[in-house]
Structure 1
Amino acid sequence: MPEVKAYWQNYIDGAWTDGGAGRIVVDDPATGENLAEQGLADAGDVNRAVVAARACHETGVLTAMRPVERGRMVQAMGDYLLANIDIIAEVLCREAGKPLWEARLEVEGAARYFEYYGNQAETFEGRSIPLGEGYYDFTSYEPYGVSAQVIPWNYPLEMAARSLAPALATGNACVVKTPELAPLSSAYIAKAAEHAGLPRGAVNILCGLGREAGASLVGHRDVSQIVFIGSVTTGISIASAAARNVVPCVLELGGKSAAIVWPDADLDALVSSVRWGIFFNAGQVCSAMSRLIVHDDVHDEVVERVADMARSISVGPGLDRPDFGANMGAMISAAQRDRAEAMCREAKRQGARPVVGGRKLNQPGYFLEPTIFDGVTPDMNIARDEIFGPVLSVLKFGEDEEAVRIANGTDYGLVGGVFTADVTRAMKTAARLRAGQVFVNEWFAGGVETPFGGYGKSGYGREKGREALWNYVQTKNIAISLQS
């Protein structure tokens, strides 16, 4: 088993530094044992990071570059991650409980964001507006300044890259608060920034508790824009802090996403999508396929086939099972695992039928079995509340109207899915689903290029794609009178 260094620091103003709040222990979710210690930032550390980012912005060093030069630096960050993927993936595997192959996919995904937005840097252009003879009018787009980014533990490397890459490409300086449950791999983001030659203060990476470091960051008067990925409750607090300082924020919050399955669906493709949709990353995905709404005519066959697939997945430490797609790792913590198991017990109490799983494993580490519940009705807690674990709820429908009503029957609206060979039905249903993104015949279709974000309590704003660039700039109009 690879060694992970015992102590990790924060990165502020181009230097590695301890945390003013001491240290925090990071566990290995696959064993439950202590893995390493991370320096813990306090409010003073946050202030130093924001001041450094503000100074970087105000010197104009980022905006003075030609966009292509800035874009090449962003791309170089991704190149660094790929060049060091073996080391980074092992650290990520150990701190987050992922199988090693999943960790490698995350590193590759993070690198892809830097590649994509590095390429976008020189394509982001203003426009001229005709005002008639005697006037010349045009718009330009300027970075907000300091972007504060609060990153979740389920994809600590990839989610940091998702917001950091477009922010840097548009000329912002950034302060990233990493998740205290999985902060270690984020150090390689700072190393990537150094490798790329970004100026001091452009990238600051620190770990701290939400109640101190997180609150200090999102409430700081010199922060110009905020990105948050996490729970609805915390998202409301962050939106309130942003409103007090009158700064924009992007929120990606919870999900309870549903896939609707008609009798003409390709069931082989469906089973593959269920595998990725709910059991990838042990179900700890905001856009997980947590509900499967199946037509009466194919319900029994679908349940049987997805149950067989779930039983075929091995569960255990990620470094021990390198085979692509064959295994599922641990949940991030004992508390998260126990919460998911408690929701499974409540589902049984309310009348849902456990087809597979529903229990934690009797072994070290924070493991929950791949779980499928049938006989779920829309009023049950398991059909309404986000579990954030490897638990699938199967519901029945008879008519199209009923399927859409069930799918839209939660407070969330992050993604949705449609499985049918009928293109007309797919298009009509996609238009009616209250979700920011709809997958047709393949869960997680799309990519870095496609915009992503939620309706309802799943948040607001869009990440990914060119739409994300607008999060980090404000429009300036310049109107010139040419009359003498």
Structure 2
Amino acid sequence: MQMPAQWSNFINGQWVGSDQQLPIFNPATGTQIATVAQATTEQATQALDGAQRCIAERRLSKGRPADRVCLLLRVASEIRKIAEYGAKILCLENGKRYSDAHDEFVEAARYFEYYAGMADKIEGVSIPLGDDYVDYTVYEAIGVSVQIVPWNFPVSICARSLAPALAAGNACIVKSPELSPLGLCVLFEALEKAGLPKGAAQLLCGLGSEVGGFLVSSPKTNQIVFTGSVPTGRRIMQAAAHWATPCVMELGGKSAGVVLEDADIHDLLVNIKSGIFLNSGQVCSALSRLLVHRSIYAQVIEAVSTMVKGLTRGDGFSGADITPVISARQQQQIGEMCKLAQEEGARLVVGGGIESEVEGFYVQPTVFADVSPSMTIAQEEVFGPVLCIMPFDTDEEAIAIANGTDYGLVAGVFTNDLRRAMRFTQQLRSGQIFVNEWYAGGIETPFGGVGLSGYGREKGQEALYSYVRTKNIAISLKGQ
């Protein structure tokens, strides 16, 4: 596959270079594979001005809403055309399996198809105030939406925010991740081919501390959408507070799956394999804590250990179960978390460290048992292929442990007792609850957290209303 050696930013309908370049590495080998133009604050200003002009001239909203339906469907079609090529690029720069990279582009197309179906259905309401009044509401585009995308699922996460924002008539500036920006360049090539109006969607790859900080601090920014770490999210919210800029924040999690004594162990293993080892655990909603009823605790540990020992390791094109993590820094941080877990008394069942004898940024799939709720490994997000198994005796204890972190993104319960499962869904503190299938749901289901997992919702119909503001119009008919 011939891949360009240099990539650019997309500003006001043009691909634009820069004096400085950011190197892009292949996590499977640690070698540099390309560079991308490092966006500057001057270019960020140009993007903001272009987005404001797009809004002022109503390039997306002055026509009939059906026009946006057709536009988003064209975008989806163009994404599907480049899915295979884009997946190869994403696999190279991100390290994930090719099949998962391809799924990202397919899912991105589905986001545009889904929100295309809603673009002409953003309807206000009539409010009765008596014979002397006519009162109604309308929804307006919120304006310039700055969207900061993480590196773990860049194409899919970009599309889940970009599609509803464009469906509502906004102008968007996407800040791509420095570690994995090339898949987004391919995505924006599809947007360009679809004929998106000038300034409606722009792409900047710059340093988060520089360009990202500039964008979120600007009075020209009308909304911020962020997916990433808690420390970065806090800095963004502090900057947003100055102009009272509304935000949608998704900040990760420490999600727990509760395994009751009647759970199907075979199905459980399938869910654990995808829940914590998909993308080498670099998933915000990963199944990072497994709470197991004491009566089957030893059985589950043995079964999980056997399953993990059979996982394969390799680069994204090999189809292996465990692929490299994104960077040497990420690899080191995961290794340090594993070391600390053992120092705090967790029992290492399998794995436990980085793969230091091979090229690339690999981490061993790791399982810890006898983890207490107060341990660091049970409280802080690892963002790697590391599972903590913890015992419990009663439902009340399981709920207390599951709810006993500052996060609240996802939780789950595995049982054949539906009534018992329903009681858990009512008491687990989380934005999403999975019963017997981790990652159940889809682009149609609202996604977001509570606590340090953030606020606001992406996906589903509910997400669309994050990208509009309500205007109420009250007309007096007295004297008419």
**Same fold by TM-score, threshold 0.5 exceeded?**
yes
- 8 Å Cα contact 2:224/2:246 also seen in 1: yes
1:411 aligns with 2:410: no
Equivalent position to 1:477, from 472, 475, 479: 472
Q: Displacement of 1:72 after TM fit?
A: 2.0
Secondary structure of 1:106's aligned partner: helix
CA deviation after TM superposition for structure 1 residue 437, in Å:
0.6
1:345 aligns with 2:339: yes
1:75 Cα deviation from its structure 2 partner: 2.3
Query: In the aligned structure 2, how far is the partner of 1:308 from the partner of 1:66?
Result: 58
Q: Which amino acid aligns with 1:375?
A: D
Partner in structure 2 of residue 72 of structure 1: 70
Cα deviation, 1:304-359, whole Å, max 9, x if unaligned, reads 2222221222111111x13xxx5221100000011101111111111111111112
Structure 1 residue 18 corresponds to structure 2 residue 13: no
One-letter amino acid of the counterpart of residue 93, structure 2: E
Question: In the TM superposition, what whole-angstrom CA distance separates every residue of 1:39-73 from its partner, at most 9, and x where no partner exists?
Answer: 00111111101110110010012111222210221
Distance 1:388 1:248 in 2: 27
Contact kept, 8 Å, 2:413 with 2:435, in 1: the verdict is yes
Cα distance in 1 between the residues matched to 2:306 and 2:67:
52
Q: Aligned partners of 2:104, 2:365: CA distance in 1, in Å?
A: 21
Letter in 1 for 2:445: T
Q: Deviations over 1:429-457 (max 9, x none)?
A: 11111111110110000000111111101
Looking at structure 2, the residues matched to 369 and 247 of structure 1 have their Cα atoms a distance apart, in angstroms, of 42
Distance in 1 (alpha carbons) for counterparts of 2:466 and 2:236:
16
Superposed CA offset, 1:15-57 (max 9, x none): 000135x111010001100010000011111110111011001
Residue of structure 2 equivalent to 1:420:
415
Structure 2 distance, partners of 1:65, 1:298, is: 61
Match of 1:9 in 2: 8
Question: How far apart, in 1, do the equivalents of 2:384 and 2:108 lie?
Answer: 22
SS in 2 for 1:328: coil
Tell me how far 1:243 sits from its aligned partner: 1.1
TM-score (norm 2): 0.98
1:386 to 381, 390, 405: 381
Q: What corresponds to 1:99 in structure 2?
A: 97
1:235-384 equivalences in 2 (<5 Å): 235-319=233-317, 321-322=318-319, 326-361=320-355, 362-384=357-379
Given the alignment, which residue of 132, 135, 138 partners 2:136?
138
Deviation of 1:276 (Å)? 0.9
Q: Percent identity?
A: 49
Are the equivalent residues in 1 in contact too, given 2:152–2:282 (CA < 8 A)? yes
Contact 1:166 1:468 in 2 (8 A): yes
Q: Which amino acid aligns with 2:411?
A: G
Q: For structure 1, list consecutive stretches of 5 or more residues without a partner in the other structure.
A: none
Aligned to 1:402: 397
Greater Cα shift, 200-209 or 129-138: 129-138
* Paired position in structure 2 for 1:183: 181
Q: For residues 438-453 of structure 1, what are the structure 2 equivalents within 5 Å?
A: 438-453=433-448
Q: Which amino acid aligns with 1:83?
A: K
Secondary structure, aligned partner of 1:188: helix
Deviation at residue 222 of structure 1 after TM alignment = 0.6
Residues 19 and 45, structure 1, Cα contact 8 Å, conserved in 2: no
Which moved further from structure 2: 74-83 or 124-133?
Answer: 74-83
Establish whether residue 210 from structure 1 lines up as the match of residue 208 from structure 2: yes
1:128 — aligned with what?
Answer: 126
Aligned pairs (5 A) from 1:451-466: 451-466=446-461
Tell me if structure 2 keeps the 8 A contact 1:76–1:192. no
Distance 2:309 2:81 in 1: 36
* Contact persistence 2:280–2:384 (CA under 8 A): yes
In the alignment, residue 381 of structure 1 is paired with which amino acid? T
The Cα shift of 1:413 comes to 0.6
TM-score (norm 1): 0.97
Quote the Cα distance in structure 2 between the aligned partners of 1:357 and 1:192: 41
Aligned to 2:120, the other structure's residue is in SS state: helix
Which digits, 9 at most, give the CA deviation of each residue in 1:99-126, with x for residues without a partner? 1111111111211111111111112211
Aligned partners of 1:340 and 1:72: how far apart in 2? 45
CA distance in 2, matches of 1:124, 1:306: 47
Correspondences of 1:16-55 after superposition (within 5 Å): 16-19=15-18, 22-55=20-53
- Alpha-carbon offset, residue 160 of structure 1: 0.6
How many residue pairs align between the two structures?
478
Deviation, 1:81, is: 1.5
TM-superposed deviation, 1:134: 2.5
Measure the CA separation in 1 of the matches of 2:136 and 2:292: 53
Q: How far apart are residue 482 of structure 1 and its match?
A: 2.6
Letter in 1 for 2:407: Y
Residue type matched to 1:185 in 2? Answer: G
* 1:139-179 Cα deviation digits (max 9, x unpaired): 00001110000000001111110110000000000000000
Q: What amino acid maps onto 1:120 in structure 2?
A: M
Alpha-carbon RMSD across the aligned residues, in angstroms, is 1.0
**Alpha-carbon separation, structure 2, partners of 1:151 and 1:457:** 18
What is the CA deviation profile of residues 73-111 of structure 1, one whole-angstrom value per residue up to 9, with x for unaligned ones?
A: 122222211111110000000010001111111111211
Question: Shift of residue 189 of structure 1?
Answer: 2.4
Q: Does the 8 Å contact 2:277/2:321 carry over to 1?
A: no
Distance (Å, rounded) in 2 between the aligned partners of 1:440 and 1:102:
23
C-alpha separation in 2, matches of 1:305 and 1:75: 46
- The one-letter amino acid paired with 2:471 is K
- Give the distance between the partners of 2:111 and 2:244, measured in 1 at CA: 29
- Tell me, yes or no, if the aligned pair for 2:181 and 2:205 is still in contact at 8 Å: yes
Shift of 1:186: 0.5
d(CA) in 1 for partners of 2:415, 2:6? 51
